[in-house]
C-alpha cells in the first residue's frame, strides 16, 4: 500500500499506542485508535507491497508466507510455512483464502450444549452487529438467501462457481445435502472502499493465496490500513519487535524493534500485541510477561482440514476461478455424528506447485508415478473441510532450546488430534468420498491435514483460566496512565491531589472499572444460572470475604484469596455440607484477619 504521505512520529515522542502486527487483529484496532484521534504506530515484521507486486507465481509468492522456522511436535504435527501464516503489511490476510462464513451460535456455547471445549465469553447476538458492520466495510460477496440463516444478507452478490464447486453441488444434491455459494471476502463487483479508492471486481484468476493483484480480495492492506493511515497512523514495515522496555514498576515504556540490523526503541503509553497465534505467545514467553494464569501458549488448536480428491472425465482446471466458492453447513451438527461439534465443507481450488507438493506429502507418490499423476492436474478436483478442534492440555506452544536469527528461542508447537478430531476426520472423509462418487469422480483419495493457527492466548469468562480478564485488569492498573492514577490515589489521596491529579475523576473511573468487572462477573455466571436481577446476591458474601482476606486494593491478593476460599470450600463441602462449609470458611477468615488485619497481600502505603 502507498505509505508515502503517511504521518510520521519520532521514536523519542511518547505515542499513545504501539500496535505490533498489521494482520486481521492489529489493523482494525489501528484504524479505530487512529480514528479516535490517538497517535499510533504499527510495527510490522514483514515488507510493504502494493497489489501490483503480487504475481500469479507460487515461487515468488513464498515471500508473503511466514518462513521463520517453527518446530512441530506431537502425533499429528502441523505443517507451518505456506500452510498457515503470512507476513507483510496486511499480515496473513495477504495470503488467506478469504472464505468468510460466520460462527454458528451453537459454536459459541459448545460446553453448555455438548459439555466439551469452552463457551465463548461473547454471545452470537452481541457479535451480530459487528459481523454486519465488518462485512459491509470489507465487501463480502454471498448468496441472496443463506439456507442456514435465511435472515442473513450479504452486501454483494456471490462470485461465480469454479468447476470443483459445480461438482460438489452435484454430489451433495445427490446425497440430499444442501449447498449454496460461499460467503467470500472478495468483491464480486467494483466496490468503493470506504475512505479509500475503488476495488475492481474479482477476475476469477484463482491465485488468491499468492496475493491478489487487483485488490478484489479483502486484505487489511486494501481496507483497514488505508483507513488507519488516512486517520494519522504510522506503519513501519520490516520492524521485528523483540523486547518491551519496562520501568521499575513493570510499566511498559518503549517497544524495542530491529530494523535494517539495528535496534530502535519507540516510546509509548500503551502496547497492543497482535502478532498472530504463534508470535504473540512466543514474545510473551520470551519476556516472561502476562502469564500469571499460566495460559500463554496453551489451548493450541488447528482446524481439522481433511480433503478428498478425485479425477473427472471432463476438464476441471482447478487453478481457475475463486477457490472456495461453494459451502455446506449441513455437517455442523451431523445427525449421524459420533463426535462433538462439527465441520463446514467447501469446494477447493488449487495451483500447480501446491498441488504437486500436496500429492507428494499426502499420497506418498514419488518418481514416475508422481509425474504421471500430476499430469492429470487439469482433470482433478477437491473438496475439503474446516472442522472444530477441541482444546486439550497436551496441545500447546513452548519455547525450544534452538535460537533463530532474531535472537529468540524458536517456538515448538505440540499438536495431536484427540478422539474427537479423529472421529470428525473419518466422518468427513466418508461423506466427501460419497459426494465425489455421486459427482462421477474416479481414483478418489483422502488427504489428512490440519490448517490454521488458533488459540494460545484465549479470552474467557473464568479469570483463573483466562488470560484476557485477569491480564487485562492487571495491564490496565499497571501499564496505563489511568491505572497509575488509580494506584496513586489509593496510596496517598492528598499527595495525588497536590500533584494535579483530579481525584474525583479517578474515583469515577475506578467506580466505572469496578462496575465493568462486576458486569464481567455477571457474564461469567450467565451460562450457569438463569439470568435475573438478583442472580448476584448469592455471591456478595463470598466476594466480600475474598476482598477482606486478599487485602483491599490488591489484585493478586484477590486472586489468591478467591482460589484459597474456593479450595477450602470444596474440600469441606463433601463432608459437612455447604452451610457448614461456609461457616467454617468464615471462622477461618476471622482467625486469619486477627493475625493480618490488612489482608494477605495489602498494598503498601494505603490510607
Ligand atoms: C494460507 C492461509 C489461508 C487462510 N484462509 C482463511 C480463510 O479462508 N478464512 C479465514 O477466516 N481465515 C483464513 N486464514 C486465517 C486468517 O488469515 C488468520 O486467522 C488471521 O489473519 C489472523 O490474524 P492475526 O492478526 O491474529 O495474525 P496475522 O494476520 O498472521 O498477523 C500477524 C502479523 O504480525 C506480524 N508479526 C509477527 N511477529 C511480529 C513481531 N515480533 N514484530 C512485528 N510484527 C510481527 C506478522 O508479520 C504478521 O503480519 C488463513 C490463513 C492462512 C495463512
Ligand atoms: S480470484 Fe479474485 S480475489 Fe482471488 S486473486 Fe484472483 S482477482 Fe483476486
Contact between 29 and 19 under an 8 Å Cβ cutoff? The reply is yes
Locate all alpha helices (DSSP H) within 85-162, ordered by sequence.
Answer: 110-114, 124-138
Scanning the structure block, which residue is given the C-alpha cell 473419518? 426
Please tell me the number of the ligand nearest to residue 259's CA: 1
d(CA 105, CA 121): 12
State residue 563's pLDDT score.
Answer: 80
d(CA 304, CA 521): 33
Mutate to test the pocket of ligand 2, among 211, 214, 324 (most ligand atoms within 8 A of CB): 214
> Could you tell me which of 91, 90, 63, 67 has the C-alpha nearest to residue 80?
67
Q: Is 186 in the pocket of ligand 2 (CB under 6 A)?
A: yes
Nearest atom within ligand 1 for CA of residue 90: 49
Q: Is the pLDDT of residue 51 over 70?
A: yes
State residue 573's pLDDT score.
Answer: 63
Written as nine digits, the cell of 240 is 521485528
List pLDDT tens digits, range 129-167. 999 999 999 999 999 999 999 999 999 999 999 999 999
State residue 495's pLDDT score.
Answer: 79
State residue 326's pLDDT score.
Answer: 98
Q: Is 97 in the pocket of ligand 1 (CB under 6 A)?
A: yes
Q: What is the 48 CA–ligand 2 centroid distance (Å)? A: 19
Nearest atom within ligand 2 for CA of residue 206: 1
d(CA 67, CA 81): 5
Q: Is 101 in the pocket of ligand 1 (CB under 6 A)?
A: no
List pLDDT tens digits, range 445-467. 999 999 999 999 988 766 666 66
Please tell me the number of the ligand nearest to residue 217's CA: 2
> Could you tell me which of 307, 291, 281 has the C-alpha nearest to residue 454?
281
| Positive or negative: CA dihedral 170, 171, 173, 177 | negative
What does the radius of gyration of the chain's CA atoms come to, in whole angstroms? 27
Q: Is 78 in the pocket of ligand 1 (CB under 6 A)?
A: no
> Could you tell me which of 452, 455, 461 has the C-alpha nearest to residue 126?
461
Question: H helices then E strands: how many in the chain?
Answer: 16, 20
State residue 532's pLDDT score.
Answer: 60
**What DSSP line would sit under 329-393, residue for residue?**
-TTTT-TT-SSSS-EEEEE----HHHHHHHHHHHH---HHHHHHHHTTGGGEEEEEEEE-----T
- The stretch 518-541 carries a mean pLDDT of 64
Please tell me the number of the ligand nearest to residue 82's CA: 1
Q: What is the 279 CA–ligand 1 centroid distance (Å)? A: 10
Pairing of strands 40-43, 17-20: parallel
Length of the chain (residues): 607
Q: Is 322 in the pocket of ligand 2 (CB under 6 A)?
A: yes
- The stretch 544-554 carries a mean pLDDT of 77
List pLDDT tens digits, range 310-348. 999 999 999 999 999 999 999 999 999 999 999 999 999
Q: Is 83 helix (H, G, I), strand (E, B) or coil?
A: helix
Pairing of strands 326-328, 180-181: antiparallel
**Confidence bin at 556 (pLDDT 50/70/90):** confident
d(CA 141, CA 202): 10
Mutate to test the pocket of ligand 2, among 161, 184, 212 (most ligand atoms within 8 A of CB): 212
> Could you tell me which of 338, 345, 253 has the C-alpha nearest to residue 303?
345
**Confidence bin at 96 (pLDDT 50/70/90):** very high
Q: Is 22 in the pocket of ligand 1 (CB under 6 A)?
A: yes
Residue nearest to atom 13 of ligand 1 (CA): 96
Q: Is 452 in the pocket of ligand 1 (CB under 6 A)?
A: yes
Scanning the structure block, which residue is given the C-alpha cell 445427525? 335
Amino acid at each position: 500500500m502507498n505509505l508515502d504521505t503517511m504521518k510520521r512520529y519520532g521514536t523519542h515522542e511518547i505515542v499513545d499506542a504501539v500496535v505490533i502486527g498489521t494482520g486481521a487483529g492489529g489493523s482494525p484496532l489501528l484504524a479505530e485508535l487512529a480514528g479516535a484521534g490517538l497517535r499510533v504506530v504499527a510495527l510490522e515484521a514483514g515488507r510493504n507491497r502494493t497489489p501490483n507486486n503480487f504475481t500469479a507465481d507460487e515461487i515468488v509468492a513464498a515471500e508473503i508466507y511466514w518462513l521463520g522456522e517453527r518446530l512441530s511436535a506431537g502425533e499429528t504435527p502441523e505443517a507451518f510455512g505456506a500452510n498457515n501464516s503470512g507476513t507483510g503489511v496486511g499480515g496473513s490476510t495477504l495470503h488467506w483464502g478469504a472464505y468468510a462464513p460466520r460462527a454458528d451460535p451453537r459454536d459459541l456455547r459448545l460446553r453448555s450444549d455438548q459439555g466439551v471445549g469452552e463457551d465463548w465469553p461473547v454471545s452470537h447476538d452481541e457479535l451480530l452487529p459487528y459481523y454486519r458492520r465488518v462485512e459491509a466495510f470489507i465487501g463480502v460477496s454471498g448468496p441472496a438467501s443463506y439456507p442456514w440463516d435465511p435472515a442473513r444478507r450479504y452486501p454483494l452478490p456471490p462470485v461465480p462457481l469454479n468447476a470443483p464447486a459445480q461438482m460438489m453441488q452435484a454430489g451433495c444434491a445427490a446425497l440430499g445435502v444442501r449447498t449454496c455459494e460461499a460467503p467470500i471476502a472478495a468483491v464480486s463487483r467494483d466496490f468503493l472502499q470506504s475512505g479509500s479508492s475503488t476495488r475492481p471486481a474479482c477476475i476469477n484468476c484463482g491465485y488468491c493465496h499468492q496475493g491478489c493483484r487487483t485488490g478484489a480480495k479483502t486484505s487489511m492492506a486494501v481496507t483497514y490500513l488505508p483507513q488507519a493511515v488516512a486517520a494519522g497512523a504510522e506503519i513501519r514495515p520490516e520492524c521485528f519487535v523483540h523486547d518491551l522496555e519496562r520501568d521499575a514498576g513493570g510499566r511498559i515504556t518503549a517497544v524495542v524493534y530491529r530494523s535494517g540490523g539495528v535496534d530502535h526503541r519507540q516510546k509509548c503509553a500503551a502496547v497492543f500485541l497482535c502478532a498472530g497465534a504463534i508470535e504473540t505467545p512466543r514474545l510473551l514467553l520470551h519476556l516472561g510477561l502476562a502469564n500469571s494464569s499460566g495460559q500463554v501458549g496453551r489451548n493450541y488448536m488447528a482446524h481439522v482440514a481433511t480433503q478428498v480428491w478425485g479425477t473427472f472425465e471432463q476438464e476441471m482446471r482447478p487453478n481457475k476461478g475463486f477457490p472456495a466458492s461453494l459451502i455446506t453447513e449441513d455437517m455442523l451438527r451431523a445427525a449421524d455424528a459420533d463426535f462433538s461439534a462439527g465441520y463446514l465443507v467447501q469446494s477447493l481450488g488449487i495451483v500447480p506447485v501446491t498441488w504437486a507438493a500436496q500429492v507428494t506429502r499426502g499420497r506418498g507418490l514419488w518418481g514416475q508415478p508422481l509425474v504421471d499423476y500430476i499430469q492429470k492436474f487439469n482433470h482433478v478436483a477437491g473438496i475439503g473441510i474446516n472442522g472444530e478442534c477441541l482444546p486439550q492440555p497436551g496441545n500447546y506452544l513452548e519455547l525450544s532450546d534452538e535460537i533463530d536469527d532474531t535472537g529468540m528461542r524458536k517456538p515448538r508447537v505440540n499438536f495431536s488430534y484427540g478422539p474427537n478430531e479423529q472421529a470428525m476426520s473419518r466422518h468427513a472423509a466418508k461423506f466427501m468420498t460419497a459426494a465425489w462418487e455421486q459427482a462421477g469422480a474416479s481414483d478418489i483419495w483422502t488427504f489428512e491435514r490440519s490448517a490454521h493457527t488458533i488459540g494460545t492466548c484465549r479470552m474467557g469468562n473464568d479469570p483463573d483460566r483466562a488470560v484476557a480478564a485477569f491480564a487485562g485488569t492487571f495491564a490496565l492498573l499497571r501499564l496505563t496512565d489511568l491505572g497509575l492514577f488509580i494506584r496513586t490515589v489509593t496510596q496517598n489521596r492528598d499527595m495525588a491531589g497536590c500533584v494535579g491529579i483530579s481525584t474525583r475523576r479517578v474515583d469515577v473511573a475506578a467506580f466505572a472499572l469496578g462496575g465493568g468487572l462486576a458486569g464481567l462477573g455477571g457474564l461469567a455466571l450467565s451460562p450457569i444460572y438463569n439470568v435475573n436481577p438478583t442472580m448476584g446476591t448469592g455471591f456478595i458474601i463470598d466476594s466480600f470475604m475474598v476482598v477482606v482476606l486478599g487485602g483491599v486494593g490488591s489484585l493478586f491478593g484477590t486472586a489468591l484469596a478467591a482460589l484459597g476460599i474456593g479450595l477450602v470450600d470444596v474440600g469441606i463441602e463433601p463432608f459437612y455440607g455447604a452451610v457448614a462449609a461456609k461457616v467454617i470458611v468464615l471462622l477461618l477468615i476471622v482467625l486469619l484477619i486477627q493475625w493480618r488485619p490488612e489482608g494477605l497481600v495489602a498494598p503498601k502505603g494505603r490510607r
